[in-house]
Amino acid sequence: MVSLGCAKNLVDTERLLRQLEANRFEIIFDPVDGSKIDTAIINTCGFINDAKQESIDTILQFARAKQNNQIRYLFVMGCMSERYKNKLQEEIPEVDAFFGVNELQNIVRYLGGNWYKELVGERKLTTPSHCSYIKIAEGCDRKCAFCAIPIIRGKHISRPFDEVITEAKNLVTSGVKEINVISQDTTYYGVDSYKRRRLPELLSALAQIRGLEWIRLHYTYPDGFPLEVLEVIKKYPNICNYLDIPLQHISDHILRSMHRGITGAQTRRLIKTIRKTIPGVAIRTTLIVGFPGETNKDFCDLKEFVKESRFDRMGVFTYSHEEDTAAFELKDSVPARIKHQRYEELMVIQEEISRELNAAKLGQIVKVIVDREEDEFYIARTGFDSPEVDNEVLIPRGIPALETGSFYDVRITKTDSFDLFAELK
Ligand code: SF4
């Protein structure tokens, strides 16, 4: 099983693996070179060019392995398959079958297995056993001009409240201590099926699950942001003072062209309110450079915004001209060289900000969870760090030995741009 793309895709992979496990399939993630594999399944990402290229390269790698008789069957699923099934079928005939994003049952049946209804909501975790994602909805009702996800994943569908809570309780029973709440538009939770925003209630209910020590919120949307969420984060100590809120840009002209439904001034006000309501909150955001029509002035505004906002965590994407999106009607006017230059400029600014924010933590005592051992270090994270995407804390291995999946209080002894070094308090 190969799972590409975002954590939302990973949850689908884990749901499929639970069903395959129940059908007594032997599941391997890192096949030994030259070993024979019966079936390879690739869960693809089809979001933007780079991700699509990675998916195609992976499919071709396994297509070659099939030609060399290292694997018998090759299946492709997920967003790329959903979006380009027909074209891929023509171009890569080695693939035995392509499945869309809502076809887990079909895959199991195609493999000759049974679909166990009673296991819906259960997953075979691929993350470290102490931490997991929980997907609270599928699809998106927003109309961001650059985004193909609504085309791939369809309309926003919130999962039933109790089903999410039951899944979270099962995860905690199985040893999970940290849950990252995800969907395409987390703040929209409940609007479709309950006709009102229910994220604050859902977070409160999650926070009351005994043994769930860290809850972290991802993919919140700035326009119409439900401020009650901030009160809930503040109220419960086991909800991390952390907020992932992709903002994409700050220039009114670009935000309008992106159909983001919010202005630069409103964005600034929201960031101020978030910081005022939750002092010391870590804000993660994502920005896009090179959107059609982005002028030097727009980019200078964005640079100023990044400097003044001093985000704790920040990702930057170069605009990808995606067919069938609203932005595809616009001219992809910013040359690739300029897109890349703007990307680099923002990352350099952010690296300096991150270095300064980290340096201010020197000598502090922070609570961390140990994820793994690597060379001479234990690799851990603070409550301000989401797995895979944020910073890490490196603790030299020594006596006493630390346990993976356990929490410790550590003192920060050294800092660099992104990671922290620490010793047991
Ligand atoms: S909120 Fe916008 S960017 Fe995010 S998935 Fe929906 S349409 Fe795409």
Which of ligand 1's atoms lies nearest the C-alpha of 147? 8
Same domain, 314 and 194: yes
Ligand 1 center–CA 149 separation, angstroms: 6
pLDDT of residue 281: 98
Give the distance, in angstroms, between the CA of residue 151 and the centroid of all CA atoms in the same chain.
19
The mean per-residue pLDDT over the stretch 220-227 comes to 97
Q: Residue 129: pLDDT band by 50, 70, 90 thresholds? A: very high
Domain that holds residue 394: 365-424
Same domain, 36 and 177: no
Same domain, 397 and 267: no
CATH code, domain carrying 166: 3.80.30.20
The mean per-residue pLDDT over the stretch 330-352 comes to 98
Ligand 1 center–CA 79 separation, angstroms: 14
Same domain, 354 and 418: no
Same domain, 220 and 295: yes
Q: What is the pLDDT of residues 165-222, one digit of tens each?
A: 999 999 999 999 999 999 999 999 999 999 999 999 999 999 999 999 999 999 999 9
Q: Which residue has the higher pLDDT, 120 or 2?
A: 2
**Mean pLDDT across the chain, nearest whole number?**
96
Same domain, 299 and 376: no
Q: Is residue 279 part of a domain?
A: yes
The mean per-residue pLDDT over the stretch 354-378 comes to 97
pLDDT of residue 33: 64
pLDDT of residue 28: 84
Q: Is residue 125 part of a domain?
A: no
Q: Is residue 124 part of a domain?
A: no
CATH code, domain carrying 414: 2.40.50.140
Same domain, 64 and 167: no
Please tell me the distance from the alpha carbon of residue 2 to that of residue 40, in angstroms, as a whole number: 8
Which among 68, 94, 119 is the end of a domain? 119
Q: What percent of the chain has pLDDT over 70?
A: 99
Same domain, 229 and 345: yes
Same domain, 78 and 152: no
Taking alpha carbons only, the member of 207, 158, 148, 209 closest to residue 187 is: 158
Q: Is residue 126 part of a domain?
A: no
What pTM was computed for the model?
A: 0.95
Q: Is residue 78 part of a domain?
A: yes
Q: Which residues line ligand 1 (CB under 6 A)?
A: 140, 142, 144, 147, 149-150, 184-185, 221
Which among 308, 329, 359 is the end of a domain? 359
pLDDT of residue 31: 67
Please answer whether residues 384 and 241 qualify as being in contact, where contact means their C-beta atoms are separated by less than 8 angstroms: yes
Ligand 1 center–CA 266 separation, angstroms: 19
Q: Is residue 75 part of a domain?
A: yes
Ligand 1 center–CA 332 separation, angstroms: 19
Same domain, 192 and 317: yes
Which among 359, 394, 416 is the end of a domain? 359
Q: What is the pLDDT of residues 76-98, one digit of tens each?
A: 999 999 999 999 999 999 999 99
pLDDT of residue 154: 97
CATH code, domain carrying 25: 3.40.50.12160
Q: What percent of the chain has pLDDT over 90?
A: 93
State how many domains the chain has.
3
Predicted confidence (pLDDT) at residue 34 exceeds the cutoff of 70: no
Same domain, 346 and 398: no
Same domain, 345 and 373: no
Q: Residue 37: pLDDT band by 50, 70, 90 thresholds? A: confident
Q: Is residue 215 part of a domain?
A: yes
Ligand 1 center–CA 170 separation, angstroms: 29
Q: What is the pLDDT of residues 391-424, one digit of tens each?
A: 999 999 987 899 999 999 999 999 999 999 999 9
pLDDT of residue 32: 65
Which of 135, 185, 324 gets mutated to test ligand 1 (max ligand atoms within 8 A of its CB)? Answer: 185
Q: Is residue 218 part of a domain?
A: yes
pLDDT of residue 120: 82
Which of ligand 1's atoms lies nearest the C-alpha of 150? 7
